Structure 1
């Protein structure tokens, strides 16, 4: 599993002595970019490129598949090919990628305070809570999707449909109701939640990674206020659900465990933050790419008709939709859905001739790897058929986007996206809006820079 390492601003404040110790031992064989300043390192270069992903693209173009740079005062190794990722050995499989990343950025503890065993237990509780929530509330997911599709069916065929606005709304409603319960069926609760969610995520996605949040007291104050309000809401929900003793949604499963109230709040924060963003953007990109290919739409339609007929999708039917899975896999790859992952090197390792010692931060430049022509033929083309090849599926699994090691938030997003595609494609055709230039904001999750529009028409 790809484990995101501690990616907080505290990385910037590393002891000079530690840097001097690590540098000659660990990185003498790897190209290192100029140490711009003791405080910021290459942070300004990241800002100038527009995102960490774009910076890594240029880094690997210049220095090859194994390179390094300075994140603040800390040297970081970045791996930019499947071959190098396959070599990288790290035994830390006890934490989930987004859990580790988000909790570190939010200042939370990823474990239970008692070591690796407790961390594994907490991870299992978290994953079980998501799985149980989907099983218990699958009809609700279907209902919310059907409401959206019904709305789209009522549109005139020439009307432009905004994917980002509608699908973020769907993700917010789905995640909040499945995570926190029926009180979030009230749109005012969802709107308030969305306001704080966007304030928090915008800074996590960019402000921390380029160091700019610490340089703006107004932005930091806005972020901290939103985080405090969100934490208060989540704590209040947990207390209310505990008193009601219900066992139907995500927070209820956590309440049945030995987690503390604080830990329950933290896990609810991680699931609602990551779950909303990943689900929304997987659905946005899937529908956008489908709108560009009538051939893919028709192939998906035929599979849905063969497997489901006129019946609605059910949880047990999802594994039979193999082409739908290929469409979602190719969506993740083409959109570079999560372009950066990382691990903290827990034991000394080696990639090619490069020794990577313990405690080195190792970045997986997934956005670079996912569009590497040595791994993927015609890498910039949206082609779900490529996943018919076993070698392609193995490479994708290695990167942590499929198989048992997939992060639970992405598995949740795949389920919601499958319900959406199975409902929508059997009733409507999607059409690309001509002349629309699609720009990507590649931060922790790749998001369209601007609103994305399509048109829809009824199937005859």
Structure 2
């Protein structure tokens, strides 16, 4: 086994392990012998370790995939231990990849496996479809019934920023994670989380879970540290207890006001309700916070984009606050958020199991092969996006860009539910913020990315603000 270097592996590698854990293959050697995809495996790699050390050396799975596709092209394979993995790194190859597993969201599946949740994951297609519909209905009802709550939380933050002197440095990470946490807890779990003390307690456990999740799958380091394991298990237990308490508290109400209410009125078991609430609150907070952080960072670098966004808000909304029915009319705002997701590589990797034998170009992908969608590579592929490293919302005026983005699962019917929620929060934030304030970048600030399950800035991101009028 690899030595201590494995202990430094980043969280995103766990994504691969989690899917392998969910879908063990009994005929690995037979499977690998039929793969015709160019393979990257060093001569000194043992069958047990495969390219794991290469991934560690690169610093993240995303960075490893960037190098892999640069060397071997848009279809490549590598070895995760004794398991062959195929990676697709261009829009054309992803378009060809046919996989019938459309009943579950890959992000949700991976997160549940990392948490050790199994309910509903092996119950067949019908159960998965029903559960997915309940989950999406819960989000739709939540947004419809609580839009004013979201708007109030955003207005409180913008009001706070308006009081800052123009020279004050504003930490985007701290403020926007707080915004996401307040929004998600109040809309998902109800009035209990209007109390800041409840939100702070929830955030403490949320952060403890997210920082540790999944490490034991790879190196067993959590098992080797009794204090870390106790801290993680305590946080997970406390968070589940809170969710269960909220469920019991709200069940007699027979309403469908917040996220958990819709789950309670469905046929889901108590355990499934707790699990789905855990997934939404964990993923919803992290995706929402980072979408907002990256959006404001990129806006702070372009006064032109800010002014264009401001003009759209004035034309569509006038002096009125944004409303749920007006959001679809904010086309340029949608382009800004799309370009934020693309430029930041917000979710750089997805994974699917090849349930039936398939083919991409001339390459055969056997049944039960793990297929990686190298989204971080595809989102900055110069064959698909002109000047890919430039933040340019205007690129999404082109129909080809919209189609490519939809194909990748970032828009349209296949959009991750948590990302769809995050887009709504971010739209409310931008529509409120840019009509009152201008954003300014800090000179000399260097943004480095930590490419994990969700891409985040490595360090705190700072801006300054000034009044627009």
Q: TM exceeds 0.5?
A: yes
Change beyond 3 A, Cα 1:216–1:314: same
Q: In structure 2, do the counterparts of structure 1 residues 425 and 19 end up closer, same or farther at CA, with 3 Å as the change threshold? A: closer
> Taking structure 1 as reference, are residues 104 and 12 closer, same or farther at Cα in structure 2, changes over 3 Å only?
same
- Preserved contact between residue 344 and residue 455 of structure 2 (Cα < 8 Å): yes
Structure 1 stretches of 4+ with a deviation exceeding 6 A read 1-26
Aligned partners of 2:9 and 2:59 also within 8 Å: no
SS in structure 2 of the partner of residue 5 of structure 1: helix
Computed over aligned residues only, the root mean square deviation of the Cα atoms, in angstroms, reads: 5.0
Cα 1:83–1:25 shift into 2, 3 Å: farther
Residue 361 of structure 1 is matched in structure 2 by 370
Cα distance, 1:59 vs structure 2: 1.6
Q: Aligned with 1:450: secondary structure?
A: coil
SS in 2 for 1:144: helix
Q: Distance in 2 between matches of 1:16 and 1:445?
A: 14
Deviates more, 1:112-121 or 1:404-413: 112-121
Work out whether 1:444 is the aligned partner of 2:453.
yes
CA shift for structure 1 position 257: 0.1
Cα separation, 2, equivalents of 1:317 and 1:415: 11
**Structure 2 CA distance for partners of 1:33 and 1:409, relative to 1, 3 Å:** farther
Consecutive unaligned residues in structure 2, runs of 5 or more: 27-39
* Distance in 2, Cα, partners of 1:265 & 1:213: 24
**SS class of match (2:48):** coil
* Distance apart, 1:374 and its partner CA: 1.0
1:194: how far off? Answer: 1.0
**C-alpha deviations, 1:95-139, integer Å up to 9, x for none?**
112211111111212627531101100000000000100000000
Runs of 5+ consecutive residues of structure 1 not aligned to the other structure: none
| Contact 2:205 2:235 survives alignment (8 Å) | yes
| TM-score for the superposition, normalised by structure 2 | 0.89
CA distance in 2, matches of 1:2, 1:116: 38
Per the alignment, do residues 440 and 213 of structure 1 end up closer, same or farther by CA in structure 2, a change over 3 Å counting?
A: farther
Gap change, CA 1:143 and 1:260, over 3 Å in 2: same
Contact kept, 8 Å, 2:358 with 2:367, in 1: the verdict is yes
1:11 Cα deviation from its structure 2 partner: 14
SS in 2 for 1:99: helix
Pick which of 415-424 and 201-210 moved more: 201-210
State which of 49, 55, 73 in structure 2 corresponds to 1:46: 55
Displacement of 1:7 after TM fit? 17
Distance 1:184 1:17 in 2: 35
Contact 2:49 2:80 in 1 (8 A): yes
Aligned-pair CA distance for 1:457 = 0.3
Q: CA deviation at 1:404?
A: 1.1
Partner Cα distance (2:17, 2:156) in 1: 59
From the superposition, tell whether residues 35 and 275 of structure 1 become closer, same or farther in structure 2 (CA, over 3 Å). Answer: farther
* TM-aligned CA deviation for residue 48 of structure 1: 2.1
Structure 2 distance, partners of 1:154, 1:17, is: 47
Contact kept? 2:450, 2:458, Cα under 8 Å: yes
Segment of structure 1 superposing worse, 37-46 or 378-387: 37-46
Scaled by the length of structure 1, what TM-score is found? 0.91
Greater alpha carbon shift after TM alignment, 89-98 vs 8-17: 8-17
Deviation of the 1:10 alpha carbon: 17
Count of aligned pairs = 456
